[in-house]
Amino acid sequence: MKINEEHTRRTAQIWRAGGMIWMISITLFFEIYNLFFAKLPVLFSTVLAIVIIATSTSLYAWSLKTLRLAKDLPEEKFIDVAKRRKLRKAFLIVIIIEITGFNIAPFVLLYFNQIAYVVPIEILICAIHFIPLASIFKMPVYYWLGGIVALITIITILFVPTTSQLGNLRAVSAIPSLGFIISNLIIIIYVLNDAMKYIGKNARISMS
């Protein structure tokens, strides 16, 4: 990712760390969801559960470390209050629309007797919300995350029958879920690694 001076600021780093904590949490939810409904052999399920817990714990620790380091950065001397309010308002609007979609979608699908599409539609809503966030927070990598996951989900909805199975999982739910999990983990690691570079760069600037 090209260096963006806005990302070196304390507030931006705090928001990024918080965002990663949220992404780890939603990824963990889908990991547990898939593991539970996959109904795999006990030994295999146990090994996967240990891997999931270890991975999530490591990523949480990494995110909390970046959050702590971000809070230790010096306060911005010149704050554009109007710009900050505009960003918060835009972010709040996106979140409200997302939450509204999450709550309405299941009832609409139930009404049309398409309850099998609840999981992929919820994932699609989550994926789409990353696209405006990419613009709001100047994070181009979110375009890739939202676009790839949305594309996987749309293709699955269009071409995978609701009767198809991946093991014990319904394919129409499993394919988007796995795509979402893998994409999220890649982006989380990328963003956290990138954040550490920004924090280090800013720390050196503040010390000079």
Neighbours of 25 (CB within 10 A): 11
Strands 165-166 and 169-170: antiparallel
> Is the separation of the CB atoms in 172 and 116 below 8 Å?
yes
> Is the separation of the CB atoms in 183 and 26 below 8 Å?
no
Residues 6+ apart with CB under 8 A from 178: 34
Per-residue model confidence (pLDDT) at position 8 = 61
Residue 1 pLDDT > 50, yes or no? no
Residue 7 pLDDT > 70, yes or no? no
Per-residue model confidence (pLDDT) at position 208 = 45
Residues 6+ apart with CB under 8 A from 56: 24, 27, 28, 31
| pLDDT more than 90, % of the chain | 72
Query: pLDDT tens across 15-34, in order?
Result: 899 999 999 999 999 999 99
Residues 6+ apart with CB under 8 A from 23: 184, 187, 188
Query: pLDDT tens across 128-162, in order?
Result: 999 999 999 889 999 999 999 999 999 999 999 99
